[in-house]
Structure 1
């Protein structure tokens, strides 16, 4: 293709907003360069995505594929945020049933140059190959996390949880970036050793079948892990930048934000701890109680976005300790509905972020230089926490190694250490030092240019019709 030719790129992210939003961020950046995007998801998910700026909306087409109904999955459940954790496996089954409608859509796209996907549709590369469409495994996780997936040519003898608390054999350099035992135990049987199709198998097959790997990261942040990925998989690995979240501001101030901003405006600069654990992580009742009482003990001002359940099918509600909100009404605010995280993190009164270590939340915090207090729950969060600990960019609340238990005292002490104490100054200073890397739009733009160049040079070569 000519160097100035415009591309048509399809994207099929996993059915989780922590995945769809970074895909949409990349779609927006590519569309700003004049390329066309077909963003594939389900109707309800698509309708809940952030609105696009009018300048790029003509270039991004949302392709809505109805999610097939499967047993044990409620009719309105189309994303991980809609279901309890133990029901996510049925969402993956429904995603597998999208194989035929997705194939039919791809067959109609004569001008499609490539498709980006993530772990769940491990069957997609075979379909793309049969149609002459290059497929790109686009990981919204870091290269460090992706490096825990077995290479196609490697031997993986990891069979028990303890095996994942040490670096895999194919990691060629010393590292402390490993899961802790309680983190593995929480995800082992669904993520690593599923009874039907595990997440690990899906990821391995997706990487094995794709033409290239794209990673939501940059060389300045984890060069050794990006290089390792290319070495062990023997195919191009393209960092696409950190994809800091952006929001199209319509100029109309949301009522919820007005109320939140009014409270934040009354707090001292850098004094507030913001607490949020994303759309998927849900503390147990015991954990919630310790977090709440730890916040109270810390004496620090706080703004807490609390999700008490995951979707309508989640009947196990978690509740704050009796009298907590009354006792802390002069100290903090608990918010139980949607809140604009990016605007909150950007507010001058926020100094720290108690987070689950989800990569999107970490990126959003670092682009505003907010100090990180880490409390992991699921998926890649343990690896992210180790990377941040290793770089002195975050401090993890001390926990029991096997069951992950932590106390209100450890919560309070950790918050005070990172927010106020001299020994925590290293974390406050480090995030300020790293801010340019996560907020530099020119750097991000160059990474997208390189990705587009790769996609152009590896673009579709032929179309095979049945």
Structure 2
């Protein structure tokens, strides 16, 4: 049996019942920016194509809604199974378009999404998505979009667009710290990453990442797909973050990949829940769940814990949790199955901390709400995101222990210790202050960053630049291609180095220049 915990593993209630921070409305959009954007937007629609996961669908939809408010006509394309989680009456001007995957024996229609997808079928879902190229091309021909915004696993979408003289821009719904770190180890594998606070703690995490993203017998690796997607993106790449938290990582990754990263803002939606089910697709084992329960019990803090199970493996809570846990925590703890309104809970004045596996969507929601975090990352980019949480001074990471079988796992005692440090420890007030300050900065910058995205996309449309103007880049072997590319790279690197000089030497962002934590200590 497997048990599950969503992206919001639990919300811990602050015993001090802190007051709501004064939330100021976002900066109003300037009329000049709006008019400038609308003047050059084509009458033809913008088409968005996210990967088939809720953690990708949601930021694409949020970006689409913001572009729609700025005059773009937006269509969001995905499978019926993936779109079923979107409430049709709250799409903010975004029109939903169905993309049908080919029929495969192992993949019934309800599994044309990563939700409830068994891990062993992930390669089949990727293969089926690749086979949907012809269906996507039919959509391009019928909708005739002026621009597509695509995700990191489908370079074929950009290729299909280019063949029709349609502009294609990559949108990465991940953090810039993780993206720049992973780009560094791909481009400069023998050199140390210049920002040592962002790292994997051990080789096991690297091995796990390679295993999850490896190539199959008939499909390229995720890493190869990402590289292709970056190269095919017109002029720049969009990324779900803000300069207020990841400026140096944005600039460094732009330098490494030789393509400008443009932040979209964190795209946190208002808590009216246009998604029916915004949950993690990662499930903990029963033993891992027992350690979480032990940590909550030992911490003696009040909590809400949201628990879910893989489809078809649901069990009563009394059987899933350690014996006596519900009785021992009665009166200070609430365990809820399947779903809870995460944004609404995070925005409540009584929530003093957020225990999270550090998916980027959950981190940005906590940042936008000004809630400190307790990080218990699992895989992929989550360990890197957890390091960013610590670097920013808005939370602490629970460090895994090594047991007798040399397996690394979380221990309830360590979770309880970190929980109490974040809630009532000596640095808890400072973490709350930093979290509130961060939320204010992100609110202030969000509108401006969204305006900039709209302006840059409109500029692409105005220029009629369907593909990046590097005709020689398709002939890497040619002497002229190598010479021209080398000259251009020198100019780009010089410009980016100038931007990096002001902050590449810092150990952390501007919010935590005076605050570093020792690794491996749980601090």
- The interval holding the TM-score normalised by the smaller chain is 0.7 to 0.9
Matching residue of 1:450 = 452
Over the aligned positions, Cα root-mean-square deviation in angstroms equals 2.9
User: What's 2:520 paired with?
Assistant: none
SS at match of 1:458: helix
Q: Deviations over 1:126-165 (max 9, x none)?
A: 11111111211100101222224448xx97585xxxxxxx
SS of the equivalent of 2:51 reads coil
Secondary structure of the corresponding residue to residue 334 of structure 2: strand
Partner of 1:27: 64
Residue 442 (structure 2) pairs with residue 409 (structure 1): no
Whether the 8 Å CA contact 1:114–1:133 is kept in 2: the answer is yes
TM-aligned CA deviation for residue 219 of structure 1? 1.6
Structure 1 residues 91, 155: CA separation in 2 closer, same or farther (over 3 Å shift)?
closer
Answer yes or no: is the 8 Å Cα contact 2:133–2:157 preserved in 1. yes
- Residue 339 (str. 1) matches residue 340 (str. 2): yes
Kept in 1, the 8 Å contact 2:162–2:466? The answer is: no
1:6 to 13, 35, 41: 41
Distance 1:170 1:240, change over 3 A: farther
Q: Which residue of 2 is the match for residue 209 of structure 1?
A: 232
Cα offset for 1:392?
Answer: 1.6
TM-score (norm 2): 0.74
Q: Is the 8 A contact 1:281 1:356 kept in 2?
A: no
In structure 2, the partner of 1:269 is none
Per-residue deviation, 1:93:
1.6
Contact 1:277–1:356 (8 Å) recurs in 2? no
**Partner of residue 266, structure 1:** none
Aligned partner of 1:190 in structure 2 is 212
Q: Indicate which of 252, 263, 267 corresponds to 1:243.
A: 267
Which runs of structure 2 are paired with 1:7-406 in the superposition (5 Å)?
7=42, 8-53=45-90, 56-57=92-93, 60-110=94-144, 112-150=145-183, 156=187, 169=191, 171=193, 173-181=194-202, 182-192=204-214, 196-211=219-234, 212-248=236-272, 278-309=279-310, 311-312=311-312, 319-400=320-401, 403-406=407-410
Partner residue in 2 for 1:263: none
**Structure 1 residues 287-296 or 385-394, which shifts more?**
385-394
SS of alignment partner, residue 456 of structure 1: helix
Question: Which consecutive unaligned segments of at least 5 residues does structure 2 have?
Answer: 1-35, 468-523
Farther-moved stretch of structure 1 (450-459 vs 425-434): 425-434
Deviations 1:5-29, CA, capped at 9 Å, x for gaps: 3342111011111111111111111
| 1:429 Cα deviation from its structure 2 partner | 2.6
Q: Is this contact kept in 2: 1:25–1:246, CA < 8 A?
A: no
Q: Does the CA-based 8 Å contact 1:278-1:356 persist in structure 2? A: no
Q: Distance in 2 between matches of 1:39 and 1:4?
A: 23
- Separation of aligned partners in 1, 2:191 and 2:166: 33
Tell me which residue corresponds to 1:271.
none
CA deviation profile, 1:258-285 (whole Å, cap 9, x unmatched)? xxxxxxxxxxxxxxxxxx9942221122
Q: Residue 384 of structure 2 aligns to a residue in which SS?
A: helix
Count of residue pairs brought into register by the alignment: 420
Report the 3-state secondary structure (helix = DSSP H, G, I; strand = E; otherwise coil) of the residue aligned with 2:361.
helix
Distance, in Å, in 1 between the alignment partners of 2:155 and 2:182 is 14
- Residues 244 and 439 in structure 1, CA contact (< 8 A), matched pair in contact too: no
TM-score, structure 1 as length reference:
0.82
Alpha-carbon deviation of 1:70? 2.7
Residue aligned with 1:244, SS: coil
SS at match of 2:84: helix
Structure 1 alignment gaps of length 5 or more: 159-167, 251-255, 257-275
Q: In structure 2, what is the Cα distance between the partners aligned to 1:314 and 1:40?
A: 31
Report the CA distance between 1:179 and its aligned residue.
Answer: 2.0
* SS of match in other structure, 1:10: strand
CA distance in 1, matches of 2:447, 2:437: 21
Q: 1:164 corresponds to which residue?
A: none
Give the C-alpha shift of residue 98 in structure 1.
1.4
**Whose relative contact order is higher, 1 or 2, with alpha carbons under 8 Å and at least 6 apart?**
2
Provide the rounded CA distance (Å) in 2 between the counterparts of 1:365 and 1:46. 25
1:400 to partner: Cα distance: 3.0
Q: CA offset at residue 417 of structure 1? A: 1.0
Give the conservation status (yes or no) of the 8 Å contact 1:150–1:204.
no
- Structure label with greater radius of gyration: 2
* Candidates 439, 454, 461, aligned match of 2:464: 461
- 1:177/1:386 contact within 8 Å kept: yes
